[in-house]
């Protein structure tokens, strides 16, 4: 009923043109039909195949002579009886078509005399600037959690009728499925719920990754946002115990299971290859959430204003995927304030800061940065983010864990190696550098028709010059900056 009342208010506000962007064309048409019948106004629908037809009466034939867009707009302009006209295929006929734009403008200009309301329906609609001030946008509401649960239950009943057996589910899995269906239309939610049930007759935690992949595909979040399909288990991250503990204390609050304020996000700073990206993936894995990665390089566009629009759309799509983790990797490359980009970085920063201040959705932001000094102070101050974590080089004990992880990951028995000695030989190494030493050792062993052993691995470590040596000055500055400003992620 809310959609009906909201659309009624727009019509009573005397907007000549209402734009509805939706994939649910039939639902939009049904809403307009019901509104017209309630208000006692004739309702017409038009598409490029059938032409114009009365929407309230199925047995009234369509007007084939109005198939062309200029023909239907001309007929509407020449009709004196007030009506509501739902035009479904108009969007491609307004690009470089001055006649059609002019006809729309004429109808809008004479709205006080004609009292026609045009409703332009499309999956995507770019309003021509000539008619922009005569238009308003309307969005169909998405089903809430109660409606989504009814949809899942309907699909479970359908499965029982068709297969003769009840759907197996526990309350927690059902609740998580419903939460992950938020932001979808009724029909899309029904399809995904059916897909979760149909293959095994059960709703389980194992269904959630596939649900999120399918949801991401429906949202068409390509380009600026990407879906990280393999979120690492937090057990596969060596060290970072301080960060793990911090996240563990806040998980219930994020999922709305506590009266404490929900966490907004964190920033992780540290050297390249130190494990920041792996930890960002692991946040999603720990909390059982989909992980979206924002590509700051794809944000920028040569057209003025497009970069800010890209950010807004990416953030809106992240909200649609909520609950989720939004990972902005190397954030300094996208919003470091400078004077050589025409102010684009400042506008992108402003868009992001506004969203961070106003965001009420379950989107947990994880920003990673290598060069904290390039970031503006208004981004990293408390209140924007909950905490700043410093990811330092791994300690000796953590290096042992990292060696064990990467050896066992490649089918090698870690107990056959002297891990404390390997840890001592890798002082100053990042986790990524330790992994590459293991990989290089395997190549060396393969070339010698042997098996990777302690001697080969120590030789690879000795041949590696870690970043902590080549970038010693930068690391020293980073450590100095984080002293007293950031929480150590490893403690």
Query: Is a pLDDT exceeding 90 seen at residue 219?
Result: no
Higher-confidence position of 233 and 33:
33
Query: Is a pLDDT exceeding 80 seen at residue 453?
Result: yes
Task: Report the pLDDT value the prediction gives residue 457, as an integer from 0 to 100.
Answer: 94
Query: Is a pLDDT exceeding 60 seen at residue 303?
Result: no
Please give the share of the chain, as a percent, with pLDDT higher than 90. 37
DSSP state of 165: S
Query: Is a pLDDT exceeding 80 seen at residue 293?
Result: yes
Task: Report the pLDDT value the prediction gives residue 26, as an integer from 0 to 100.
Answer: 92
Lowest-pLDDT choice from 72-81, 212-221, 454-463: 212-221
Helix 276-287 and helix 241-254: axis angle, to 10°?
40
- Prediction pTM value: 0.69
Query: Is a pLDDT exceeding 70 seen at residue 301?
Result: no
Helix 145-163 and helix 171-180: axis angle, to 10°?
120
Task: Report the pLDDT value the prediction gives residue 233, as an integer from 0 to 100.
Answer: 64
- Indicate the burial class of 357 (C-beta count within 10 angstroms; 0-12, 13-18, 19 or more): exposed
Q: How far apart (Å, rounded) are the C-alpha atoms in residues 320 and 65?
A: 41
Query: Is a pLDDT exceeding 70 seen at residue 367?
Result: yes
If pLDDT is split at 50, 70 and 90, which confidence band does 44 have? very high
If pLDDT is split at 50, 70 and 90, which confidence band does 339 have? low
Which residue reads 């998580």 in tokens? 176
Helix 207-219 and helix 171-180: axis angle, to 10°?
10
- Indicate the burial class of 147 (C-beta count within 10 angstroms; 0-12, 13-18, 19 or more): middle
Contacts of 159 (CB under 8 A, 6+ apart): 165, 167, 197, 198, 201
Class of domain 2-138: alpha beta
Q: How many CB atoms lie within 10 A of CB 362?
A: 18
Q: How far apart (Å, rounded) are the C-alpha atoms in residues 430 and 271?
A: 8
Task: Report the pLDDT value the prediction gives residue 376, as an integer from 0 to 100.
Answer: 83
Superfamily grouping for domain 228-387: P-loop containing nucleotide triphosphate hydrolases (3.40.50.300)
Determine phi and psi for 117, rounding to 5 degrees. -120, 120
Query: Is a pLDDT exceeding 80 seen at residue 406?
Result: yes
Query: Is a pLDDT exceeding 90 seen at residue 443?
Result: yes
Of the candidates 172, 173, 314, 288, the residue with the CA atom closest to the CA atom of residue 231:
288
Please give the share of the chain, as a percent, with pLDDT higher than 70. 94
Helix, coil or strand: residue 219? helix
Q: Is the peptide bond before 231 cis (omega within 30 degrees of 0)?
A: no
Contacts of 433 (CB under 8 A, 6+ apart): 273, 426, 464, 466, 467
Contacts of 269 (CB under 8 A, 6+ apart): 276, 368, 369, 370, 372, 388, 389, 390, 391, 478, 482, 486
Asked if 383 and 344 touch (Cβ cutoff 8 Å), the reply is no
Higher-confidence position of 285 and 137:
137
If pLDDT is split at 50, 70 and 90, which confidence band does 234 have? low
Task: Report the pLDDT value the prediction gives residue 340, as an integer from 0 to 100.
Answer: 56
Task: Report the pLDDT value the prediction gives residue 326, as an integer from 0 to 100.
Answer: 94
CATH number of 396-470: 1.10.8
Q: How far apart (Å, rounded) are the C-alpha atoms in residues 344 and 259?
A: 39
Which residue reads 């399918």 in tokens? 214
Please give the full DSSP string across 423-476, using - where no structure is assigned: HHHTTT--HHHHHHHHHHHHHHHHHTTS---HHHHHHHHHT---HHHHTHHHHH
pLDDT tens per residue, range 235-284: 567 678 888 899 999 999 998 888 888 999 999 988 777 778 888 888 88
Asked if 277 and 368 touch (Cβ cutoff 8 Å), the reply is yes
Lowest-pLDDT choice from 47-51, 106-110, 184-188: 184-188
Asked if 450 and 423 touch (Cβ cutoff 8 Å), the reply is no
Give the containing element (helix H, strand E) for 266. Answer: strand 265-270
Query: Is a pLDDT exceeding 70 seen at residue 192?
Result: yes
Residue range 285-290: mean pLDDT, rounded: 83
Give the containing element (helix H, strand E) for 326. Answer: strand 324-328
Helix, coil or strand: residue 242? helix
């Amino acid at each position: 009923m809310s959609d009906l009342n909201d659309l009624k208010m727009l019509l009573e506000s005397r907007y000549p043109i209402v734009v509805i962007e939706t994939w649910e064309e039939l639902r939009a048409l049904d809403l307009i039909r019901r509104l017209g019948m309630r208000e006692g106004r004739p309702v017409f629908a038009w598409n490029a195949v059938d032409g114009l037809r009365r929407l309230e009466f199925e047995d009234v034939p369509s007007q084939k002579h109005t198939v062309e867009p200029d023909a239907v707009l001309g007929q509407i302009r020449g009709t004196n009886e007030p009506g509501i006209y739902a035009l479904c295929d108009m969007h491609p006929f307004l690009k470089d078509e001055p006649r059609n734009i002019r006809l729309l403008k004429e109808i809008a200009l004479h709205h006080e005399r004609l009292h026609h309301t045009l409703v332009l329906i499309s999956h995507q609609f770019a309003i021509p600037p000539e008619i922009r001030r005569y238009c308003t946008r309307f969005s169909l509401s998405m089903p809430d959690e109660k409606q989504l649960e009814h949809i899942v239950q309907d699909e479970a009943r359908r499965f029982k009728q068709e297969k003769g057996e009840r759907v197996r589910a526990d309350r927690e899995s059902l609740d998580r499925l419903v939460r992950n269906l938020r932001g979808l239309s009724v029909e899309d939610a029904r399809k995904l719920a059916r897909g979760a049930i149909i293959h095994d007759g059960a709703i389980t935690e194992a269904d959630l990754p596939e649900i999120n992949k399918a949801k991401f595909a429906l949202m068409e979040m390509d380009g600026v946002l990407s879906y990280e399909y393999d979120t690492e288990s937090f057990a596969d991250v060596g060290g970072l115990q301080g960060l793990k503990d911090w996240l563990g204390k806040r998980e219930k609050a994020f999922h709305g299971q506590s009266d404490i304020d929900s966490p907004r996000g964190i920033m992780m700073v540290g050297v390249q290859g130190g494990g920041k990206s792996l930890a960002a993936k692991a946040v999603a894995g720990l909390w059982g959430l989909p992980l979206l990665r924002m590509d700051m390089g794809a944000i920028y566009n040569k057209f003025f204003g497009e970069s800010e629009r890209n950010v807004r759309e990416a953030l809106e799509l992240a909200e649609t995927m909520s609950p989720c983790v939004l990972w902005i990797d190397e954030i300094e490359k996208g919003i470091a304030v400078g004077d050589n980009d025409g102010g684009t970085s400042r506008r992108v920063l402003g868009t992001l800061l506004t969203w961070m201040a106003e965001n009420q959705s379950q989107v947990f932001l994880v920003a990673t940065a290598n060069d904290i000094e390039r970031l503006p102070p208004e981004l990293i101050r408390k209140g924007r983010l909950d905490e700043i974590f410093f990811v330092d080089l791994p300690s000796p004990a953590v290096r042992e864990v990292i060696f064990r992880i990467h050896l066992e990951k490649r089918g090698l028995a870690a107990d056959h190696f002297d891990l404390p000695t390997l840890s001592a030989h890798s002082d100053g190494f990042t986790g990524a550098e330790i992994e590459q030493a293991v990989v290089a050792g395997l190549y060396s062993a393969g070339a010698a028709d042997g098996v990777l052993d302690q001697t080969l691995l120590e030789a690879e470590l000795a041949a590696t010059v870690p970043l902590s040596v080549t970038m010693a000055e930068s690391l020293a500055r980073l450590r100095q900056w984080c002293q007293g400003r950031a929480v150590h992620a490893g403690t």
